Structure 1
Amino acid sequence: MSEKSNILIFTTSFGMGHLSVANAIKEQLINENKENIIEIVDILDVSNPKTKDIFFNTYKFLTSKHENIYNYFYKIKKDVPNNYIDGIMYNMYLKKVAKYIMHKNPDLIISTFPMCSGFVSKAKAKYDLKIPLITSITDVVDSWEWIHSNTDMYFVPSKVVGEKLVGKGIDEKQIKVTGIPVKNEFLQYLKKENSKKQLLIMGGVMDKLGIDQVVLDKLDGLSNVKTVIVTGNNKVLYDKLSKNSDYKNIEILGYTTEIAKFMSESDVLVTKPGGATLFEAINKGLPMIIKNSNVGQEEENIKYIREKGIGILIEDSESIEDIIIDSLSNTSVLELLRLNISNIKNEINPHLIGKYALELI
């Protein structure tokens, strides 16, 4: 396609996964046509910027401290079509969002957050907008909060989710099994260079898994395993871990743009069960060690990991260091996990995201 298109991607920064998916879709659209003009916009910056920090902090507080309260609201949004919780936001800010859309007048809108899809769907109906809408589901879920009339296409994480959407009245032709979109670097094969086994730990999960100094000392004592810990933007954690400069087999990293490279070099990933990270690992063929979670959408992702046999789930009573050491030393288990991941990769079409999207223009 030589003619450039003006594409608006609505998202939000909750948990960063939705924004990560938005950036991944943008890359795929540029792959199809470098002339495409693509803008990623946080829906809260449009509806009411003053509430952005309040929403983010409330989300973080509930998911970390009060999971039961979060899950109460999540279950309503999951099980009830046109739920009243999002309805409050639509009633307050629909006119403002619709005005923004009409001002931008894009050729296509893509949503990576349920409320974005709802706003666009309702704006299309009320203001007779003829702009195609794609919804990209960012966890392994078929929740009603993602399903809205006036949606022209759905990018779904799995065949099963697609089938469940059909059961809820969505036309099969509107469903594309892409997996959860990931950036190009996670779709590229890089040969593992190092002969040592490598363990990759995302620092944000360390407290929840009980990875303390005792565990780190045991990991550092594994002469045949290199452990890489990525703390991201958590400077407090980075400084705390970096105080011990005597590690022989542990590397501590802060924020890095090379997660895909480290995934390629690793044999096992220890992380949270977020949808974007899950499919980054799948596309890299990387088995995961995951802690069971009580947070709504993470529970669904864990169920998927368990059913597909692509990771090791840790129960509260189990020793994290024993699980890690056993998984790294058991070649047959790792091979089975990689085989199961390979089967998933045969079901999804991440390279076709840009092509599918531009078919609607």
Structure 2
Amino acid sequence: MNEVENKKTILILTAQFGAGHISAAKAIKEYILEKDNNINVVIENFISASVPRINKPMVKMYENNTKYAPGLYNYYYYLKKSFDSKFDISYKIYMPKLTEYINSLNPDLIISTFPCAAACVNDFNIKNPHKKIPSITVITDVVDSLEWVFKTTDMYFVPSYEIKNRYVQKGMSPDIFRITGVPVSNKFICDKKIKSTKLRLLLMGGGRGLFDFDESFMHWLDEYLYEYKDRLDVTIVTGSNKKLYDNLTVKKPLHNIDVKGFVTNMSDLLKNYDLMLTKSGGATLFEAISSNTPIIVKNPKVGQEIENAKFIRDKGIGILYDNDEDLKDIIKSLLNNELDSRVAFMDENITYFKTTIHPEKIGDYVFELLDN
């Protein structure tokens, strides 16, 4: 048998609801290939592989619900959080075509970074007991929701010890959990920052450039910086939000803030900043942790982000605020050196937390299951 026929295939099923599920999939692929680059690793959006025409409408609906109807979204989210996943049958719409796809690819292992994808893999394994495919589920927010939990899943990657403990309290075996943090690219790893004479603040709105503060705040900060340019260095990354980029660079340009559009070197950028003002998504949070960057986050309104914000508070790795006025006060306090000890405290807490998670073992954990 030649080497190509011998090659093992790992399928990573993901989804486009927020950037975190896809970035976790890419990070896991990176860790696997670092361990053995002879593995065939396929990343696939499980909706595109099954009912592709509904992918865009579903993503749009998710974005609109989280933005305009967070109360309704949270009702459903918290219902699923404590609801046994076996009663949720929404995955069935994807199964006929996804089953065909899995059979045609014939993977040796399936990794899911989205709950409904994990439900599909579980259904496949229950209906095909003669060819059960080993499976891993990667929990991409700091949550202990039951929507991620399925009977045939062999291993779970979880964000922290607390999440493992909470699942064990719910009756699950401690042996199936691996504490990896939310997987992010190892390019973000930065254990020691090179300090600057200025405080460096990065404003991030995720890949889509959607910020939790108004454009008017950006203009306030730009004017405020006029007197403090020697003490504070600010960069805004607008991502794929071209309208905002044009507003801040052409229509009403900022003079004291560096405005960047879509960047491909996010990991390098993050290593050069002392603080990041951003959203509380799981991937963003662990990119900040990996690069030793404390974060400033608005108290969120959406289920999983609320859980992530609780984690930020409980671990002491960021600052939470309620509105733009709060945020202005935080900026002023930073410049008056009133938060120096708090920033140092957050740095220490991030350094300690990193000793409790093991993203560097992701490759080992995958091969532990693949080889068995």
TM-score of the superposition, structure 2-length normalised?
0.91
Q: Verify the 8 A CA contact 1:162 1:177 in the aligned structure 2.
A: yes
State the 4+ residue runs in structure 1 displaced beyond 4 angstroms.
Answer: 188-191
With over 3 angstroms needed to count, the CA separation of the structure-2 counterparts of 1:296 and 1:308, relative to structure 1, is: same
CA contact (8 A) 2:277 2:296 kept: yes
Gaps of 5+ in 1: none
**Is residue 2:220 matched to residue 1:218?**
no
Q: Contact conserved, 1:308 with 1:340, CA < 8 A, in 2?
A: yes
Q: For the structure 1 residues 102 and 13, does the alpha-carbon distance in structure 2 shift closer, same or farther, using more than 3 Å as the test? A: same
Give the secondary structure class of the aligned counterpart of 2:47.
helix
Q: Deviations over 1:11-56 (max 9, x none)?
A: 0011111001111111011110111111100010122111111100
* Comparing 9-18 and 209-218, the one that deviates more: 209-218
Question: Residue type matched to 2:52 in 1?
Answer: P
Q: How far off is 1:181 after superposition?
A: 0.2
| Matching residue within 319, 329, 333 for 1:322 | 329
Out of 60, 66, 91, the position equivalent to 2:63 is 60
* CA-CA distance at 1:318 after TM superposition: 4.1
TM superposition score normalised by structure 1: 0.94
Aligned equivalent of 1:297 = 304
Distance 2:225 2:196 in 1: 18
C-alpha contact 1:136 1:154 (8 A) present in aligned 2: yes
Taking the aligned partners of 2:298 and 2:147, their CA distance within structure 1 comes to: 26
Aligned to 1:336: 345
Match of 2:282 in 1: 275
Q: Does 1:143 align with 2:135?
A: no
Counterparts in 2 of 1:248-267, with a 5 A limit?
Answer: 248=256, 250-267=257-274
Paired with 1:256 and 1:63, the residues of 2 have a C-alpha distance of: 25
8 Å Cα contact 1:327-1:334 kept in structure 2:
no
CA distance in 2, matches of 1:82, 1:246: 49
Determine the C-alpha separation between the residues in 2 that align with 1:173 and 1:83. 22
Structure 1 residues 209 and 236, CA gap change in structure 2 (3 angstroms): closer
Aligned partners of 2:89 and 2:215: how far apart in 1? 37
Distance 1:210 1:337, change over 3 A: farther
Q: Is the 8 A contact 1:218 1:321 kept in 2?
A: no
Letter paired with 1:215: L
Distance 2:309 2:214 in 1: 15
Structure 2 counterparts to residues 187-266 of structure 1, below 5 A: 187-189=189-191, 191-192=193-194, 194-203=196-205, 204-207=210-213, 211-223=217-229, 224-243=231-250, 244-245=252-253, 247-248=255-256, 250-266=257-273
**1:11–1:18 contact (8 Å) kept in structure 2:** yes
Amino acid at match of 2:178: K
Once the two structures are superposed, residues 215-235 of structure 1 have per-residue CA deviations (whole angstroms, 9 ceiling, x without a partner) of 332134322111010000000
Aligned-pair Cα RMSD in Å:
1.9
Q: CA, structure 1 residues 209+345, in 2 after alignment: closer, same or farther (shift >3 Å)? A: farther
Provide the secondary structure at the position in 1 that maps to 2:111.
strand
Q: Residue type matched to 1:266 in 2?
A: Y
Partners of 2:150 and 2:254 lie apart in 1 by 55
2:21 matched to which residue of 1?
18
Aligned equivalents of 1:75, 1:83: Cα separation in 2: 16
How much identity, in percent, do the aligned residues show?
39
CA contact (8 A) 1:45 1:52 kept: yes
SS of aligned partner of 1:55: helix
Deviation readout 1:123-172 (Å, 9 max, x if unpaired):
10112232110000000001010001110100000000001111223221
SS in 2 for 1:211: helix
Secondary structure at the aligned position of 1:356 is classed as helix
Partner secondary structure for residue 9 of structure 1: strand
User: Unpaired runs of 5+ in structure 2?
Assistant: none
User: Paired residue for 1:172, among 146, 149, 174?
Assistant: 174
**Aligned positions, number:** 357
Q: 1:116 to 1:73 in 2, by over 3 A?
A: same
Q: 2: distance between equivalents of 1:167 and 1:208?
A: 42
Find the aligned partners of 2:186 and 2:268 in 1 and give their Cα distance: 12
CA contact (8 A) 2:190 2:271 kept: no
Give the match for residue 320 of structure 2.
Answer: 313
Query: How far did residue 300 of structure 1 move?
Result: 0.2
Q: CA deviation at 1:83?
A: 6.1
Distance of 1:88 and 1:199 partners within structure 2: 42
The verdict on how the C-alpha distance between 1:226 and 1:26 changes in structure 2, with shifts beyond 3 A counting, is same
**CA shift digits 1:263-308 (9 cap, x unpaired):** 1111110000000000000111111100001100000000000111
